[in-house]
Structure 1
């Protein structure tokens, strides 16, 4: 992945406010040439000890992606006031931007 694209993705990630979420696709659309898969890759490659809100990124279906950090992601989102419906989807009013 090009350094410029990674920088764009991380800059956008840092702007997601508490209590809000966005999708891999929405982040990709805000970049120059990004795709949802590249956004996911950038998040997987975050260095240990970073303070970026990776947990605020969800799938286009408004669900958490299937990954080992999903339980922690759900807990962190709920701590910020994000609620899930019976199907595990985040309320659309929580979407950013």
Structure 2
């Protein structure tokens, strides 16, 4: 991944407001050439102790991705006031931008 694209991804993630979420695809669309998979890779490669709100990034289906941190992600989002329907989807009004 080009360093400039990685920097764009991380900058966008840092801007996601509390209580809102966005998708891997929406982040990718705001960059100069990233794909949703590259966004996921950038998140996966974050160093321990970082402060980026990684947990505010969800799938295009408005669900949490299946990964080891999914339970923590859900807990953090609920703590910020994000709600989930019975199918585990976040409502459209919670999407940013």
Same fold (TM over 0.5): yes
Deviation for aligned residue 1:80 = 0.1
Deviation for aligned residue 1:4 = 0.5
Secondary structure of the residue that 1:11 maps to in structure 2? helix
- 1:6 aligns with 6
CA RMSD in angstroms comes to: 0.3
4+ residue segments displaced more than 2 Å: none
Distance in 2, matches of 1:59 and 1:86, equals: 16
Deviation for aligned residue 1:55 = 0.1
- Give me the TM-score of the superposition, normalised by structure 1: 0.99
- 1:15 aligns with 15
Distance in 1, matches of 2:6 and 2:33, equals: 11
Deviation for aligned residue 1:73 = 0.1
Deviation for aligned residue 1:3 = 0.6
Task: Report 1:9-88 matches (<5 A).
Answer: 9-88=9-88
- Give me the TM-score of the superposition, normalised by structure 2: 0.99
Q: Which runs of 5+ in 1 are unaligned?
A: none
Corresponding residue pairs, total = 97
1:24-61: CA deviation from partner (whole Å, max 9, x where unpaired): 00000000000000000000000100000000000000
Secondary structure of the residue that 1:52 maps to in structure 2? coil
Whether 1:96 and 2:84 are equivalent positions in the alignment is: no
Deviation for aligned residue 1:94 = 0.3
Secondary structure of the residue that 1:50 maps to in structure 2? coil
